[in-house]
Amino acid sequence: MFSIKTLLIGSQGLFLEAMISKLNKEAQEVFVLDGKGSKSKQKHPGVMEEYHFSYDSDNIEDIFNSINPDVVVFTGALDPTFTWKQQRDSVHYPAGLNNILISASKSGVRRLIYLSTTDVYDPMQFGYIDEQSPTNPKGQREKTILNGEETVLAYGRDENLDVVILRCSDVYGYYKGYYNAQCRCSEIAKQVLEGESVYVDKGKKYDFLYVTDLVQLVFQVTQINQLGHNKYNICYGRSYSEEEVFSRINEVLGKEQDVKYINDTQLGESEFVNERAKKELNFTIKYTFEENFEEMVEDFKRSHIIRTKGKKGFR
């Protein structure tokens, strides 16, 4: 297995921390661009260099020329830099992505991996959803990320840049105090532990993917010379309702948290299909949701106990 230079673009969070750990174990050279204008408090061990600039900074081209990375991973849908609570994110996201793509194409990057989300698909679909299924995102976050896909593909065609889009389902897990705030099961677990009101839509379902399975897949993509396609669904392959997730959290925590049911969302009865990724990328599900979901909730519980004692909180 050959060593490559990988530039990870994203802020400190669940995926970034787990990905750095994986690349360190594989003896790869790792660099990080965190999208922040000031140095973060914690420096990652095992990272060759960390850069603290916004993605649309004029310094990005110099950073690429200094590193000459073989592979770039733009964490996109999993990047905590973007909270999507402010409208400006929908402006800064494409501006930064364009700047990165220009710099990548100029510096001779071998491959750019763009982490997207299965939320870009039309939620009204029935049956199995594969990479050719219609996209029709509703929210500003999902629309912006989908537009980012088109931008990435355009650069791939026009600048002869090898790009691949990984549409990930809800990524969950708990690693070094980090979790994915965008994941619905993480959100519900936090609400239950905090004693907050939990609003559950009985008709809404999610596909949950454990972060370690995603990290392994991304690493495999950095090692493959020739890809058959430029879009892949990276998902668990089975969906769970909000009501089922809430009930399991209560069961694991031994709680009987009150729930407030909102309208039953009339969505299509569908499942995401990951057959293309299995066949071409050797994607496998090693960590089942049933087992690792409970582990994540227990980690939340331990962290919550520590936080309430005034030591360490959720990040």
pLDDT at residue 184, as a whole number: 92
The span from the first CA to the last CA of the chain, in angstroms, equals: 35
Residue 136, domain member (yes or no): yes
Residues 50 and 79 in one domain: yes
Written in H, E and C, the secondary structure of 117-152 is EHHHECCCCCEEECCCCCECCCCHHHHHHHHHHHHH
271 backbone dihedrals φ, ψ, rounded to 5°? -140, 140
**Is residue 306 predicted with pLDDT exceeding 50?**
no
Residue 286, domain member (yes or no): yes
Residue 125, domain member (yes or no): yes
DSSP state for residue 178 in the 8-state scheme: B
Q: Shortest CA distance to 100 belongs to which of 119, 79, 120?
A: 79
Residue 135, domain member (yes or no): yes
Residues 48 and 78 in one domain: yes
Q: With bands split at pLDDT 50, 70 and 90, how would you rate the model's confidence at 2?
A: low
The total number of structural domains that make up the chain:
2
Kindly report the CATH number assigned to the domain that includes residue 298: 3.90.25.10
**Is residue 257 predicted with pLDDT exceeding 80?**
no
Residue 17, domain member (yes or no): yes
Q: With bands split at pLDDT 50, 70 and 90, how would you rate the model's confidence at 190?
A: confident
Residue 313, domain member (yes or no): no
Domain boundary among 218, 234, 250: 234
**Is residue 209 predicted with pLDDT exceeding 50?**
yes
DSSP state for residue 44 in the 8-state scheme: P
**Is residue 62 predicted with pLDDT exceeding 50?**
yes
Q: With bands split at pLDDT 50, 70 and 90, how would you rate the model's confidence at 43?
A: confident
Residues 103 and 188 in one domain: no
Kindly report the CATH number assigned to the domain that includes residue 95: 3.40.50.720
Residues 102 and 222 in one domain: yes
Residues 166 and 300 in one domain: no
pLDDT at residue 125, as a whole number: 87
Domain coverage including residue 40: 5-171+208-234
pLDDT at residue 39, as a whole number: 62
* Averaged pLDDT of the chain: 90
What percentage of residues in the chain have a pLDDT greater than 90? 66
Q: With bands split at pLDDT 50, 70 and 90, how would you rate the model's confidence at 38?
A: low
Q: What CA–CA distance (Å, rounded) separates 237 from 207? A: 7
* pLDDT tens digits along 271-296: 999 999 999 999 999 999 988 888 88
The pLDDT of 218-227, averaged and rounded, is: 96
Residues 88 and 167 in one domain: yes
Lowest mean pLDDT of 24-33, 132-141, 187-196, 218-227, name the range. Answer: 187-196
101 backbone dihedrals φ, ψ, rounded to 5°? -65, -40
Residues 72 and 166 in one domain: yes
Residues 143 and 269 in one domain: no
pLDDT at residue 314, as a whole number: 38
- Say whether pTM exceeds 0.85: yes
pLDDT at residue 197, as a whole number: 85
Residue 139, domain member (yes or no): yes
Residues 179 and 226 in one domain: no
Residue 314, domain member (yes or no): no
Residues 146 and 186 in one domain: no
The pLDDT of 1-28, averaged and rounded, is: 92
Q: What CA–CA distance (Å, rounded) separates 81 from 162? A: 25
Domain boundary among 192, 217, 234: 234
Residues 11 and 144 in one domain: yes
The radius of gyration of the chain from alpha carbons, rounded to an integer in Å, stands at 19
Residues 289 and 224 in one domain: no
